[in-house]
Amino acid sequence: MKNVTKYQNKHVLVLGLGTSGVNAANLLLKLGAKVTVNDKQTPADLTVVTKLQAAGITVVTGSHPLELLDGVDLMVKNPGIPYTNVLVAAAVTQGIPVITEPELAYEVSEAPMYCVTGSNGKTTTTTMITLMLNQGQKNGRAVAVGNIGVSASKVAQEVTPADTLVTEISSFQLMGITDLHPHIAVLTNIYQAHTDWHQTHANYIKAKMRVTMNQTADDYFVVNWDVPEAREVANHTQAQVIPFSRQALTTNGAYEKDGVLYYQDEAIMPAAEIKVPGTHNVENALAAIAVAKLCGKSNHDIIEVLKTFSGVRHRTQFVTTVNERKVYNDSKATDIEATQKALDGFTAPVVLLAGGLDRGFTFDRLVPDLQKHVRAMVVFGETADLMADAGQKAGIKEIIHSQNAVTAVPEAYRLSQPGDIILLSPACASWDQWPTFEVRGDRFIEAVEQLKAQVEVAK
């Protein structure tokens, strides 16, 4: 860990008692700061609070008292907390710097940091890159951190200059960086997303652009050339632009042409040999290939990963086969574009489980995809009626309302036929019924396993 002295005797307020907040607080204490952690909610299990207090950290829960800002030099906030939050807004008004945890990780890490951002595909691309960099590696290791579920600030204390932090970073986290400088930055895509948080699509794009704001001509910006808005972002970087394209819009970087994946003029492998399904995973693979090639990895290492990588949990994850029906968990599909890409990955008829948090829009953009791929639907959550309306517009004859993603499982099986795909791809966030998309996906998998046991007993 680098010797960082800037936080000694500084008063730092950490907002949020989640994993990133706890790790940030412990790191700041180690760096000599006087740390207070605040969370609007008081956790049912006070173990984490007790541990922080025992270490010498002040913890205030149950409200956001403004007096906590008195004498504060810096705020480190949970990325999901918006800038409209009373404490965050007051800190900004008072000129108190507000950062997020990846900024701390960058400051203390001896390892270079690569950052992966985008509307969709971040976790899969981050994982692919990490596996490729570690394939055949003798010195050092790549570690996937950040929004992927592993605290960057904790791992950053342990890595060496021979290692690499492959960091999944969200638009929320990017809003709180100042000096973070990735040697390689990846933009998987940009779609209409998170306007409830960023207020406008333009603000969302500006947040994504921050991933490259500190890059120089010695760095690399790997960007999806098939997305016009991503190409526009590339016009504003000082880094060397490395494009990737599934539509062969460029031959300068990584691309697919006639069913083969290339890097520049070098053929790597047939796209059909990638183990995870879907055109979106071809895009993810191209982004990962570009990074791997920039790092000097061999075609053999790249091919080995892409032929064996079976996907990330909750991202078009194959669960099991139930009586000749393949079941997939795509709970991470929290927007329309993610569900469109998931559906496009299948040629067999799909029984789709969809619905969730109502963000105030219809699902008309999904209608052509439903027409092309979906045999039947089970809808649930706040958007059940809106989702059913899209299904009706697509001409789907069998649409059933269910309570949630768990109760939908036996209904979907009843609607399916041998050879069908049963796919949970909600096109909505989970927060109307579940605390996270991971919990939603886990409960779905449990329901599928229960269904499979019942079906096998009945045979």
Does 171 count as an annotated binding residue? no
CA distance 269 to 251: 16
Tell me the Cα Rg of the chain. Answer: 23
Strand 34-39's sheet: what is its strand order? 58-61, 34-39, 11-15, 74-77, 98-99
Would you say how long the chain is, in residues? 459
Structure tokens at 271: 């796209």
CA distance 433 to 129: 33
Main-chain dihedrals φ then ψ at residue 145, nearest 5 degrees? -140, 175
Is residue 73 within 8 A of residue 65, CB to CB? The reply is: no
E strand intervals along 48-134:
58-61, 74-77, 98-99, 113-117
Is residue 309 within 8 A of residue 316, CB to CB? The reply is: no
- HSE at residue 434, side-chain half, CA atoms within 13 A, is 24
Does 124 count as an annotated binding residue? yes
Is residue 303 within 8 A of residue 269, CB to CB? The reply is: yes
Does 404 count as an annotated binding residue? no
Which sign does the torsion angle of CA 264, 269, 275, 279 carry? positive
User: Is residue 19 exposed (0-12), middle (13-18) or buried (19+ Cβ within 10 Å)?
Assistant: middle
Does 38 count as an annotated binding residue? no
Does 32 count as an annotated binding residue? no
Binding residues for ATP: 118-124
Binding residues: 118-124
